Amino acid sequence: MDNHEFLAVVGDSFKKFLESGSRSNEKLKILHGAIAKDLKKRLGNEYWVQSLGVGDGKEMKIDGRYIDKAVDITILKKDKPIAGIGVKFVMQNYSQNSNNYFENMLGETANIRCANIPYFQIFIIPDKLPYYKNDGTFQKWEEFSSHNSAKYLTLSKDDIQTSIHTPTKTLLFVIHLPEIEKDVKDKKEYVTYYSNVDDMCVRESQFQYGNFSSAVIYNDYDDFASKVVHYIQFL
């Protein structure tokens, strides 16, 4: 799966989100399943990859250092979990949860990596996304800004050998959705608008957030997947 194909999968996942809502895991079956199938193809027959959307369609628990964790994508060899990947696709109300998302990522990474299991992360977000009030009323557009990306720039400079909370490799993928050409009043109007877009062309964001160092890959799924596979095959 190259970057073009990855963006098509992200688009399909977004469309399923519009159909099924934020509480449903149907969108995850599409996204997680496609990534899992791609990694299985790249890794070869010695490995198995478990996630929603493949096999029995269930996530697998990995024994963490402190707590067992149901992991989005688990890579196994000889039926033993040898690596995990966490996947996050944020589609609304980001800013108020920005720090929580990041802290949770660091915490779950530390829990798995302290058990001597490599742990990778994928974070996907539109460069422009809606913010809703509790009743679903549209309040404003938010942007994934340089302020938001600053913590990922810092993360990219971490030494993964000494910073156990840092993912073995992180993919930050910022997407650009087709521009919405009307004012929306609430979540229902937002969903209706995008549900009626004939050509849901999801593209890479053209916004530049700085020069990421080696621990974070920006907007390049193919490179991220290649490095994940290389790391796992040399364990």
Determine the structural domain holding residue 142 and report its residue range: 3-233
Task: Quote the pLDDT of residue 207.
Answer: 94
Low-confidence ranges of the chain (pLDDT < 50): none
- Residue 165 CA to residue 112 CA, distance in Å, equals 9
Q: What is the pLDDT of residue 197?
A: 87
0.75 exceeded by the pTM?
Answer: yes
Longest dimension (CA), the chain: 54
**For residue 87, which of 138, 135, 31 has the smallest C-alpha distance?**
31
> What was the pLDDT predicted at 220?
98
* 156-198 tens-digit pLDDT: 999 999 999 999 999 999 999 999 988 999 999 999 999 998 8
pLDDT of residue 213: 97
Residue-level pLDDT at 20: 87
| Number of independent structural domains in the chain | 1
Q: What is the pLDDT of residue 181?
A: 82
Question: How does pLDDT run across 87-112, given as a tens digit for each residue?
Answer: 999 999 999 999 999 999 999 999 99
